[in-house]
Amino acid sequence: MSGMETSKNSKERAYSKPSPFSMVIFGASGDLTHRKLIPALYNLHVQGLLPEDYSIIGFARRDNTDEGFRGQLRDAMEKYASLDAIDPAVWTDFASKIFYHQANFDDVQGYYSLRQKLEDVADRGMRRPDGPSRQCLLDLKQNLLFYLATPPNYFSGIVDRLEQAGLNYCHSNKQEGWSRIIIEKPFGHDLQSARKLNAHITRVFNEDQIFRIDHYLGKETVQNLLVLRFANAIFEPIWNHKYIDHVQITVSETVGVEGRGPYYDTSGAMRDIMQNHMMHLLALVAMEPPFSLQANTVRDEKVQVLKALRRIPDECTSKCVVRGQYAAGVIKDQQVPGYLQEERVPEGSTTETFIAIKAMIDNWRWAGVPFYLRTGKRMPSRITEIDIHFKPVPQVLFNADNTLKHNILSIRIQPNDGMTMRFQVKVPGQAMNIVPAKMDFSYVDTFDQKTPDAYERLILDTIFGDATLFTRSDEVEASWDFFMPIIQGCHSKNTEKIPTYPAGSWGPTEADDLLIKDNRFWYLTYRSLKRYNRS
């Protein structure tokens, strides 16, 4: 079997199931496993999208048993599962495929015993009380999927131990199974550490065995960006600098650091959200049409966008970058503390909880078109939105006084996944009164079904070997390369006072000025407040 199974299109996938596999989750006692991974796997099981024979092995340091682990996951499902109800019979069948393996991440003997556990589970799990024994699939023929749901400081050690135990086997004509690894972000802390991590992992696993996961790419609306652009003749001809004035991308959160003070203070909004999530959105909006939907073809075009980003000078207080930090304020009628008052946040920290940048893409399609990106914590609402602002109509006929509103295509990633198009209409009556109207598309209203969780799609893609929605090493490094001058500039000025904004607001006023000086404004802010009170 080849290292990367040929990517199957969605029609083929709809009528096929993946081959039997065993999935090992490192960090199985952690929040990600309980909140996202097990609910996603359960939903895939319920929908019949997994093979009849598969197993899930939780790998963690805490003492536990198979039954104890299953019980903990059952309790977590009550809190986090997306399904309205958990069918006891279905859960019993699903839980019978779950096992627990206790070992320290740095103990190589734990990986040899994991190998034995995989053999035992495969042998035991494929015997049914009412049927014959099936052939054990391991013996370096089993399909193995490793999920690193651990802090990033464990990544390299886990990879090394998998190699020592022979569980990273690469594909050749002599091997009948596959071995793949899913790695959660962050992929490094800067360009140097990202390169070091990539070099370390690719020494043990081939690039086509590595799936760097970013759950944003599993969201239906993010995937729909390609369909919107390349399956509709009305958009692609005008998707360029001739017709688009500028693009705004906002990722806002209402939550604070939620007890993650020590981690967040070494990360900040730039590393936590903008360097990864928002770069994916930017690349999908700006990429050239790929000649096919094969994984590497799509990812090639994304990388070209990141390489074309104009580097921002390393002065963080330059005209293109604004940082901010939330102060005390009110969120949903509740008083909340400022960042510096949060638990375990260092006194006097200058880590940003908000960042806005003005980015330019130096290629033929986007010459002269600004991309304004912002993300922040403790903002008024949780929303991810892309706003495509088209150029105004000429100052003749209906726009002689230059007062007509621009056409805007708003793409909502979350919540209420969908799109809205703003255009001009005449108000009924004798006078020529023109006002903006909207056409709205909502996934929920149109399809009358719940949008699948991003982890469901991404885990299933990994099992099929489809890497389209995963990040390749050169994409990781291209993104870090763009942000390094900004990070270095911020670091050199970390003794300066960082602008603040009240919790519950849309960020520091300096972020408004970033657009105002270009005679623009944050459309999402304007729409949410129903006014824009700064001249």
Give residue 134's identity as a one-letter amino acid code. R
- For the chain, how long is the longest CA-to-CA vector? 84
Question: Is residue 275 a contact partner of residue 243, using CB atoms and an 8 Å limit?
Answer: no
- Going through 214-333 in order, the beta strands assigned E by DSSP cover 244-252, 321-327, 329-331
- Cis omega (within 30 of 0) on the bond before 428? no
Q: How many other CB atoms are there within 10 angstroms of residue 485's CB atom?
A: 17
Integer-rounded Cα Rg, in Å, for the chain is: 25
Counting runs of H as helices and runs of E as strands, what totals does the chain give? 18, 17
Question: Is residue 467 a contact partner of residue 314, using CB atoms and an 8 Å limit?
Answer: no
Question: Is residue 234 a contact partner of residue 407, using CB atoms and an 8 Å limit?
Answer: no
Q: Which one, of 185, 192, 184, 152, lies nearest residue 487 by Cα?
A: 192
Question: Is residue 383 a contact partner of residue 524, using CB atoms and an 8 Å limit?
Answer: yes
Q: Active-site residue 277, yes or no? A: yes
Beta bridge partner(s), residue 442: 418
Interstrand relation of 21-26 and 54-60 (parallel, antiparallel or unpaired): parallel
Choose the catalytic residue: 215, 277, 280, 389. 277
As annotated, the active-site residues are 277
